[in-house]
Amino acid sequence: MRLILLGPPGAGKGTQAQRLVTRHGIVQLSTGDMLREAVRNGTPIGLKAKAVMDAGQLVSDEIVVGIISDRIDEPDCARGFILDGFPRTVAQAEALDRILAEKGLKLDAVIELKVDQDKLVHRIIQRAKETAARGEPVRKDDDPEVFKTRLEAFNRDTAVVAPYYAKRGLLVAIDGMQPIDEVTKAISDVLETV
């Protein structure tokens, strides 16, 4: 199964992707996690991405497409994968089409998690509080001002990705405002039909 999870920052893409990994044994490909790992390891990509991510902007299409293209080639992706946080621009979606076509692969479904913006802000503030309470470092991009920039980037560059897949009949929208378990159930119901 090859699946995309779309939605604004804080919609729960990462939360749900991890649950799908456990339930369905599919690999999670999170560009956010991959970029954060590159930053932690101080790789050339990490050095380029750090300031962009800390400011709440999108990392360049070239870098992100390169990461995903290499990752999809790894053997554990042969049985399928969930793309979490990618594509975030139409250029990334077009690049993904080319990557999959070269390998003779197709997408099974694109799931969009829909969540109101005030709820997103609330979730991110909550995440920052919980992280700080555990004594762990809070993500710079979870700062409320930076989060505002992330939402602007979503509205400017990423909101157009869902219609890109809707035109091809691949898009299923799910109410991401429900409790986490309910969202997981709604996604699993969709996956049974593809």
Query: In the structure encoding, which two tokens stand for residue 68, read together?
Result: 């995903």
Residue 50 found at the interface with ligand B4P (CB under 6 A) = no
Position of minimal CB gap to ligand B4P: 32
Task: Count the residues of the shown chain that bind ligand B4P, applying the rule CB under 6 A.
Answer: 29
Q: Which of 150, 161, 165, 186 binds ligand B4P (CB under 6 A)?
A: 150
Helices assigned H by DSSP within the chain: 13-24, 31-41, 44-54, 61-72, 90-103, 117-133, 144-153, 161-166, 180-193
Q: Which of 31, 81, 162, 164 binds ligand B4P (CB under 6 A)?
A: 31
Q: Which residues pair with 185 in a beta bridge?
A: none
Q: Between 14 and 80, name the residue whose CB sits nearer to ligand B4P.
A: 14
Q: Shortest approach of ligand B4P to residue 193 CB, angstroms?
A: 21
Choose among 15, 145, 35: nearest CA to 88.
35
Residue 139 in marked binding region: yes
Residue 132 CA to chain centroid, in angstroms?
Answer: 23
Q: Shortest approach of ligand B4P to residue 50 CB, angstroms?
A: 10
Residue 53 found at the interface with ligand B4P (CB under 6 A) = yes
Residue 14 found at the interface with ligand B4P (CB under 6 A) = yes
Distance CA 49, CA 42 (A): 10
Q: Shortest approach of ligand B4P to residue 68 CB, angstroms?
A: 8
Number of residues that this document lists for the chain: 194
Q: Shortest approach of ligand B4P to residue 1 CB, angstroms?
A: 19
Q: Shortest approach of ligand B4P to residue 69 CB, angstroms?
A: 12
Choose among 34, 28, 30, 192: nearest CA to 109.
192
- 41 Cβ contact list (under 8 Å, min separation 6): none
Backbone φ, ψ for residue 10 (5° rounding) = 85, 5
Residues that bind ligand B4P (CB under 6 A): 7, 9-15, 31-32, 35, 52-53, 56, 58-59, 64, 85-86, 88, 92, 123, 127, 141, 150, 176, 179-180, 183
